[in-house]
A and B are shown apart, each in its own frame.
Chain A
C-alpha cells in the first residue's frame, strides 16, 4: 500500500502557483520524498525529490516540513501543459541494484484552468 495520502483533485488558474500537498506521516528516516507526474496517455515523469531540505529545480520546488510528515510540491507558474496526475511517493535509495520499487497511490489530478 502507498505510504502517502493526497487530495484526489485540485484546480489552479493558469499563471498562478499550484501547491500540491502530500501527507506521509509514517515516513522512515532513510526515505526520500519523490514526486512524479503523469500526463494523459504517457508514462510517469520524474519531477523532484528530497530528504529533509527544501529543493528546487527547473520544474518545481519541494517543501518538506521539519518533522518530515508532510510536503508540498509547488509549480510556480502553472500552464495548461501542467494538467496531469501528480504522485507523491516515499522510498529509500538503494545503490546496490536491489529492487527499490515505486509504490504509487492514486495521486492528485491537477487541472489548470485558462
Chain B
C-alpha cells in the first residue's frame, strides 16, 4: 500500500502571495487532516476533510482553506501569506475502518515566507 505523499517538499513564497499544497492520502483512507508545525513546536490542527466536506477546523483564519477530491486527495490553500505562516505543513490520512483511527502522516511541505 502507498503511504501519504505531499508536494512540493519545499517552497519559498513572498509575503502577500498565495500558495497551494497537495496531499495524496494512503490507499483506502477517506479522511484527510492538515497540520501546521512551527519550528520547535508540536503540530497544530488546521482542519479535516471527510467525504469531500470540511468536518472540523482548528484556530486558523479563513485565509486557510482546503479541498478534498473524489479520490480523497486534498489541497491546502493559504491566501495573503504572512511571515508567520512559515512552517512545516503536514497532511495525515485516516479512515474510520482503520485500526483505532490511526493517522498516517506524510513527510510534509516546508513553506518559507520571505
In B53-70, the 8 Å CB interface with A consists of 55-56, 58
Contact B100 A93 (CB under 8 A): yes
A99 CB, nearest partner CB in chain B, Å: 2
Query: For residue B54, which residue of chain A has the nearest CB?
Result: A99
Total A-B residue contacts, Cβ distance less than 8 Å: 68
Q: What are the nearest 5 A-B pairs in CB distance?
A: A99-B56, A104-B42, A43-B105, A101-B45, A97-B50
20 example contacts (A-B, Cβ-Cβ < 8 A) are as follows A42-B108, A43-B4, A43-B106, A43-B107, A46-B102, A87-B42, A93-B101, A95-B96, A97-B30, A97-B55, A99-B33, A99-B56, A101-B56, A102-B43, A102-B45, A102-B103, A103-B45, A104-B42, A104-B43, A105-B42
- Can you name the residue of chain A whose Cβ is closest to the Cβ of B40? A106
A100 to B33, CA, bound (A): 10
Tell me what chain A mostly uses at the interface: helix, strand, loop, or mixed.
loop
In the complex formed, the residue of B with least CB distance to A2 is B42
CB contacts under 8 Å to B, within A57-93, are: 87, 93
In the bound complex, how far is the Cα of B101 from the Cα of A46, in angstroms? 11
A37 to chain B, nearest CB (A): 11
Complex contacts, A2 vs chain B, CB 8 Å: 42
Q: How far is the CA of A20 from the CA of B55 in the complex (A)?
A: 33
Residues on A lying within 8 angstroms of B by beta carbon are 2, 32, 41-46, 49, 87, 93-107
In the complex the two chains form, is B100's CB within 8 Å of A101's CB? no
Given A42-B107, A101-B45, A101-B48: A94 and B55 interface contact (C-beta under 8 Å): no
With both beta carbons as reference points, the residue of chain B lying nearest to A99 in the complex is identified as B56
Question: Which A-chain residue is minimally distant from B110 (CB atoms)?
Answer: A41
Known: A42-B107, A43-B106, A97-B31. 9 other contacts (CB 8 A): A2-B42, A43-B108, A44-B43, A100-B56, A101-B58, A102-B45, A103-B45, A105-B42, A106-B42
